[in-house]
Chain A
Amino acid sequence: MFPFNKRTAILTCAMLTLFTVATACGKESQTSEGSPSKKGSISATVYDRGLIPASEGTMEENRWTEWINENSPTNVTFVAVPRTESKQKLNTLFASGSAPDLIFEFDPNIKNPLYDQKQLMPLDDMINEYSTVYKKLIEENPILKQAALKSDGKMYEFGKLNEAIPQNIAVIRQDWLDKLNLTAPTTTEELYQVAKAFAEKDPDGNGKKDTYGLNIGAGLSDVFGGGGLNNSYIDVNGELVRQWDNHKYHTAFVKQLFDEGIIDKDFITDNNGAKARQDFLNGKTGIYFTQANTSLWNRLWVADYGTLKANVPDAELAILPYPSSPIGQFINWINNPVQMTAVVNRSAKDPKAIMEYIDFLSTPSTGRTLTSGLEGVHWNNAANGCPNVIDPEKNKTETGYLGQDYNMIFSVPEGGKCFFIAGTFNVENPEEKLAKDMFKANLDIFYSMIDQKANWPGLTHSEHLPSVPQELLVDLQNAGTEIPNIFKSAMVSGASYTVEQAMADAQATWDKYNGKKIDEFYQKWYSDNKDHILMPEDIFNIVNDQKKLQEEILK
C-alpha cells in the first residue's frame, strides 16, 4: 500500500474538504457561444446504440454530424440518448431542465407523459410561419397532421410516412405438407389439423416424435382477432363494443395444442422467441410465426433460410396466408404507416431554426445521404436509378451506423422507389433474389386479403390509441399484465383451469380494475374524434396508394 503518514493523511482529508467546498461554488459548463452567424443553433437528440466504430468518432461527432452542420440551414449540437434507456435519460433531462430542443423518440409511452407534464411546444405556429417542405408534406397527407394532434387540438409531434407492409408473417414447411399429402390450412380448424399432423406423423422422418406443429410467435393472436386489451373493440353503429371472443378462441386453440403436445411446452418461458427460432432453424417447426419487417425480412429469407437448409437440405418454405378464425378472417398486423417520431422542448429558444432543420431532414436528398451515404463516395446510380454500393467494406464502417437514427423524420414514400424495401434487393445474388420473390408473393397475399375485406386485428393501430387519463393509468397497467397472465395460465394448466373459467376470471379482473371506466373513456374519445382517427380503412388506403409503386418495383 501507499505510505500513509500524518502529512498525507491531513493532506488527503484537507483536499477532500476543499474539493467539496470548491465544487459547491459550481461552474457552468459549456457557456461558450460561437460567433454570431446567420444560421440558427439548436440541440437535438440522437440514439446511441454503442455500435459506431471508434475510427468514426461518436454519435455526436462524426462525418455525418459534420455533414449535417455544413449542409443544413441550422447548426445542430447532438445529444446522445442511450437507445435502451431513453426513457430514464429523457426524464432526468426534462426534470432538471436540461433537455435538448428537438427530441427524436419512437415510443409514445415516453412522449405522451411529456405532453401531460406540459413539457412540449405546440408546432402549429412554427409550421405555419417557417416551414415549406414539411408544411407541403402535411398538406398532401393530412393524416400526418391528424396523428400529431393532442387533446388541446394542437399539433405536438413531427412524424413520417412509412412503407405500409405486413409486420408479421407465417411460413410453412412446404416439403412437410407435400410429404404428408396435406394442403395449406385456410381455417384455424385446419391449422390445428395440419399442426397435429406435423407433430405426430414424423414429417422429418427420423423416427422420433420431436417435431412441433407450430410456434406461439408474433402474430398468432392476430389470426384470432388480436390481443391488445385496450384495442379489443369493434364499432357497432358508432358504439365501441368490447370483444372477448378473440381472446377466448386464441386461448382455447393454444390450450388444445399444448395439451396434445403439438407445440413446445416451454413457450411461456421463451420470452424473446430465441428457442422457437432455434427449433425452426433446426427443422423442428412446421409453421413458423415471426416478425418480418425491415431487416428481419432479410434475416428470415437470407440468413435463416440458409441455416435451415444447411441443417435440413430438403427444407422448403412457403408463405402461409393467415387462416380464417371462427370470428372471421383477419389480416397481418401492418407496421405503423403514420409514425410520430419527434417532439419539441417547450423551452426551445429558436423555433425557426428547428423548423428549418425539420424541413432539411424531410427533403429526399437529405434522406438519401443520411441513409446510404454520399453519391460517388459510397454509392453510384445503378441502372434502375437506385444507389449501388461502391465498396461494401468501406460502407460497413462509414455508413453502417447511420441506420435511420439521423433522419427519423424522413417519409419513405416521399423518396420514391429506391427507399422501398423492394428496391434494395440485389437480384444478382440468388439468396436476395429469393427474398425479393418472396416479398412479392407476400404482398400479393396481402393485397388480396385487403380486397376480400379481411378485418384488422383490433380497433386500429395501437400506436394511434390515446393514453388513458392519469387516474386510470395504474388500473389499465394492472389489467394489462394480469389478464394476459390468466389466459396463459389457462393454456398450460390442462383440465384444472378451463377456458370458460379463465374468461370469467379475465372479465372479473377487467371489472375490478375499472374496465367500465376505461371503456367509457375510449368510447368518448372515439365519438369525439371519429372523423380524424387513423382507422384500418385509412391504413388500407395508404397500402393501396403505395401498391402501384410496389408492383412497379417488383415487376
Chain B
Amino acid sequence: MRKLFRGALFQKNIPLYVMFAPVIAYYLIFRYLPIGGLVIAFQNYNFFDGILHSPWVGLKNFQMLFSTDKTLLIIWNTLWLSFLNLIVGFPVPIILALLLNSVKKMWYKRLVQTLVYLPHFFSWVIVGGMVVTIFSLESGFINQWITQHYGEPYPFLYRHFSWVSIFVGAGIWKEMGFSTIIYLAALTSISPSLYEAASIDGATKWRRTWHVTLPGIRGTIILVLILSMGRILEVGFDQIYNLRNAMVSQISEVISTYIFSMGIQGGQFSLTAALGFFESVVAFIFILGANLIAKKFDNHLF
C-alpha cells in the first residue's frame, strides 16, 4: 500500500520536475555561479589578477570596516531608517487597498488607483526637487504659509526628526500606489458570499473589514512582510542621495551611500564586497527569523 502510494506520488512529481528543470538551471547558472564572486570580500581584489588570482587577505577587509566607529554609525543609520520605513510604510499600501476596496463607484476607484500608481515612475531626482519645493526654509510652500500666519518658518529639512519624517513619507507616497496592487489582487480572491453572510449578520463596515477582508489577505500580508525583512539593511541609494543635505549628514549616511562614496575614489571593490556580504548575512538571518515567527501562525514560506 505504502509502496503504491509512493509510486503514485512519484508519478505526480514527474511533470512538476519537467517544469522545474529550467528553473533549476536558471538559478544555478545566473544566481549561484556568480555568488562565487563573493570571495573578493576575502581578497585584495584587482582587475589585473582577477577573481581567481587576487591575493587572499582573510578577514582583513572586515576588520578594516568594523574597526572604525564610522561603519558602526552607518550600519546603525541604515537599520534605523529602514526599520522606520518598514514600520510606517508597510501598513500604508494595505490601508490604501482597503480604502479603495470600500469605494463603490467603479470609475472613481479606477481613477484614484491610476493616479496613485503614477509616482512610482518618477525618479528620485524629481521627487527630491519636489520635496525642496514643498519643505524648504524660505521658498517652500509650507513655510510660506507658516510665515504668513505665524511669522517664524520652521527648518523642516534641517531638523533630524522632521527630515526623517519627510524621508519616510516621501518613500511611502512614491511607492504606495504600486505596492497596493498586490493587496488589491489578493482582495479579489475573497468570496463575496462571505461579505453577504457578514452583512446578513448585521456586521458594520468596520467589522466586515476586520473579520472578513483582513483575514482574506493575511497570507499575502505575511508573505510580503517576510520578504521585506530581506531588505532590512537596505535604504535605497537614490532615495537618500536625493533627499539628504549637509544638516542631516550624521543620520543620512547609510550603507548604500557609503559604498557609493568609496566607489568615487575607486578601487575599493573588496571593501564594498565585504560590506555587501555583511548586509546579506544580516538580511538572511532576518528572513529566517521572520519565517520562524510566521510558522507559529501557520503561514511560513518553507
Contacts and interface: CB of A to CB of B under 8 A. Distances in A.
CB–CB under 8 A between A and B in the complex?
yes
Interface of A: 9-10, 13-14, 16-17, 19-21, 24, 87, 94-95, 109-110, 112-114, 116-119, 264-266, 268-270, 275, 467, 470, 473-474, 476-478, 481-482, 484-485, 488-489, 492
Given A20-B25, A264-B138, A269 B245 contact: yes
A269 B242 CA distance: 10
B19 interface: yes
A478 B258 CA distance: 9
A117 B139 contact: no
A488 B246 contact: yes
A489 B246 contact: yes
Contacts of A482: 249
Contact of A117 (B46, B137, B138, B271): B46
B267 interface: yes
A488 B267 contact: no
Given A109-B264, A265-B138, A266-B132, A20 B47 contact: no
A488 B140 CA distance: 20
Nearest to A6: B15
A269 B134 CA distance: 12
Contacts of B19: 9, 13
19 contacts: A17-B21, A20-B29, A95-B47, A109-B264, A113-B265, A114-B47, A117-B48, A119-B47, A266-B132, A266-B140, A268-B158, A268-B247, A269-B132, A269-B136, A270-B132, A477-B262, A477-B265, A481-B261, A489-B246
Nearest to B257: A481
B157 interface: yes
B102 interface: no
B278 to A, nearest CB: 16
B247 A109 contact: no
Given A95-B47, A109-B266, A117-B48, A492 B158 contact: yes
Interface of B: 18-19, 21-22, 25-26, 29, 46-48, 50, 70, 132, 136-140, 155, 157-158, 245-247, 249, 253, 261-268, 271
B13 to A, nearest CB: 15
Nearest to A481: B261
A94 B22 contact: no
B22 A20 contact: yes
A356 B271 CA distance: 40
Given A13-B21, A117-B47, A470-B267, 6 more contacts: A13-B19, A16-B25, A112-B266, A119-B47, A268-B247, A489-B247
Given A17-B21, A109-B266, A484 B246 contact: yes
Nearest to A266: B136
A266 B137 contact: yes
A200 B130 CA distance: 29
Contacts of B140: 266
Contacts of B138: 264-266
Given A94-B47, A118-B48, A481-B249, A275 B139 contact: yes
Main SS of the interface on chain A? helix
Given A9-B19, A117-B46, A492-B158, A110 B136 contact: no
Contacts of A116: 46, 266-267
A209 to B, nearest CB: 12
A9 B22 CA distance: 12
B18 A13 contact: yes
Given A24-B29, A117-B47, A478-B70, A268 B266 contact: no
Contacts of A87: 263, 266
Contacts of B25: 16-17, 20-21
A20 B33 CA distance: 14
Contacts of B263: 87
A481 B138 CA distance: 25
B248 to A, nearest CB: 9
A492 B265 contact: no
Contacts of B139: 264, 266, 275
A20 B31 CA distance: 13
Among A117, A474, A477, find the residue whose CB has the most chain B CB atoms closer than 10 A. Answer: A474
A87 B249 CA distance: 25
A467 B21 CA distance: 50
A492 B136 CA distance: 13
Contacts of B262: 473-474, 477
Contacts of B261: 477, 481
Nearest to B265: A473
Contacts of A112: 266
Contacts of A264: 138-139
A118 B29 CA distance: 30
A488 B247 contact: yes
Given A20-B29, A275-B139, A485-B249, A118 B265 contact: no
Which 3 pairs across A and B sit closest by C-beta, in order of nearness? A113-B266, A16-B22, A488-B246
B267 A117 contact: yes
A474 B268 contact: yes
Contacts of B268: 473-474
A48 B138 CA distance: 39
Contacts of A473: 262, 265-268
B22 A17 contact: yes
B250 to A, nearest CB: 8
A256 B24 CA distance: 65
Nearest to A487: B246
A476 B268 CA distance: 13
Contacts of B155: 492
Contacts of B21: 13, 17
